[in-house]
Amino acid sequence: MRKIFKIINGEFKKNKKILVFIAILLTIGLISGSLFITIINSSDKKLVLETISNYFNKVKTTEIDYLYSLGTSITSNLLYVLFIWLLGISVIGLPIILFLLFIKSFILGFSISSIICEYKLGGAALSLSYVFPHHILNIITLAFVTMYALKVSLSLVKLITSKNQINLKLIIRRYIGVLIITVLLCVISSLIETFVTPHFIKLFSFLIK
- The confidence score (pLDDT) of residue 206 equals 63
Q: Give me the DSSP letters along 89-123.
A: TSGGGHHHHHHHHHHHHHHHHHHHHHHHHHHTTHH
- The confidence score (pLDDT) of residue 11 equals 66
Q: What is the per-residue pLDDT across 152-184, written as a single tens digit (0 to 9) for each?
A: 988 888 777 776 677 778 888 889 999 999 999
pLDDT for residue 130 is more than 90: no
Q: What is the per-residue pLDDT across 41-58, written as a single tens digit (0 to 9) for each?
A: 888 788 887 877 777 777
Domain span at residue 88?
2-207
Number of folded domains that form the chain: 1
Interatomic CA distance for residues 190 and 77, integer angstroms: 8
Task: Report whether the peptide linkage leading into residue 198 is cis, meaning its omega lies within 30 degrees of zero.
Answer: no
Closest CA to 100 of 58, 139, 131: 139
- The confidence score (pLDDT) of residue 146 equals 93
Q: What is the per-residue pLDDT across 63-101, written as a single tens digit (0 to 9) for each?
A: 778 888 899 999 999 999 999 999 998 878 889 999 999
Beta-carbon count within 10 A of 64 CB: 15
| pTM score | 0.86
Displacement of CA 48 from its chain's centroid (Å)? 21
- The answer to whether the CB of 88 falls within 8 A of the CB of 175 is yes
Min mean pLDDT across 10-19, 95-104, 146-155 is at 10-19
